[in-house]
Chains A and B, each alone.
Chain A
Amino acid sequence: GAGVSQTPSNKVTEKGKYVELRCDPISGHTALYWYRQSLGQGPEFLIYFQGTGAADDSGLPNDRFFAVRPEGSVSTLKIQRTERGDSAMYLCASSLRGASFNEQYFGPGTRLTVT
């Protein structure tokens, strides 16, 4: 079946602009996650949704970052007043979360460049 998809694959924006990154999870997956990966490092957790609500947003770096999942499927990560330090690969993952099983599957990512 189809995997996690993310759009756009690449986004170049100017410092100070607003951007939206979209994630379509695997059909039927109830949990959705956002991570950010800087060059040469492992991905870092940003936020986790179970259904429509954010179950854990402890990884969001500051209040310029916000994410929504209004219908419990597609999610949008929103970044306001972008800064050059926001440049990174943004990865989305989804899982069919069970009580003792939670394998996460990742999308291809959106590479964000802030000039």
Chain B
Amino acid sequence: GIQVEQSPPDLILQEGANSTLRCNFSDSVNNLQWFHQNPWGQLINLFYIPSGTKQNGRLSATTVATERYSLLYISSSQTTDSGVYFCAVERTDSWGKLQFGAGTQVVVTP
């Protein structure tokens, strides 16, 4: 199956700092999503971004599908940004099945 690797596995940030999370995947995809999982386990949709660049407030994401990676940027981090960030991809020939990475655990300290 497709491999999805996220880095770094853990990240500790001071409030106000910027950071970049990376997602590498091993095969062609037709869907890529970034999620934030809050402490209660809810997966919050951040971006649907199979290619290109999108921005939403302090967050932005870029996917370069031809090079099989995606980046999530967090700017001016806040304590509410703490949690686990997941990248998930749907392989081109595997409709409906999202393959998740292991996640990046982010802790933002005041």
| Contact flags A62-90 to B (C-beta < 8 A → 1, else 0) | 00000000000000000000000000010
**9-residue interface stretch from B55-63, B74-82, B100-108:** B100-108
Within 8 Å of chain A (Cβ to Cβ): is B12? no
Q: What is the interface of chain B, defined by CB distance below 8 A to chain A?
A: 4, 30-31, 33, 35, 40-43, 45, 48, 86, 88, 90, 94-103
Residues of chain B lying within 8 A (CB to CB) of residue A103:
31, 33, 45, 48
- A89 to B41, Cβ gap below 8 A? yes
For chain A, what secondary structure do more than half of its interface residues adopt (helix, strand, loop), or is it mixed? strand
Of A55, A102, A106, the residue contacting B31 (CB under 8 A) is A102
Interface residue tally of chain A, by bracket?
20 to 34
Which A residues are CB-close (under 8 A) to B100?
42-44
Whether the pair B41, A102 counts as a contact (CB closer than 8 A) is no
- Assembled-state Cα–Cα distance A59/B100 (Å): 13
By a CB distance below 8 angstroms, the chain B residues around A89 are 41
Determine the chain B residues whose CB is within 8 A of the CB of A51 once the complex forms: none
Question: Could you pull out 20 A-B pairs where Cβ atoms are within 8 angstroms?
Answer: A33-B98, A41-B102, A42-B86, A43-B98, A48-B95, A48-B96, A55-B95, A93-B98, A100-B30, A102-B30, A103-B33, A103-B48, A104-B33, A104-B98, A106-B35, A106-B42, A106-B45, A108-B42, A109-B42, A111-B41
Contacts of A33 in B (CB 8 A): 96, 98
Give chain A residues whose Cβ lies under 8 Å from the Cβ of B43.
43, 91, 106
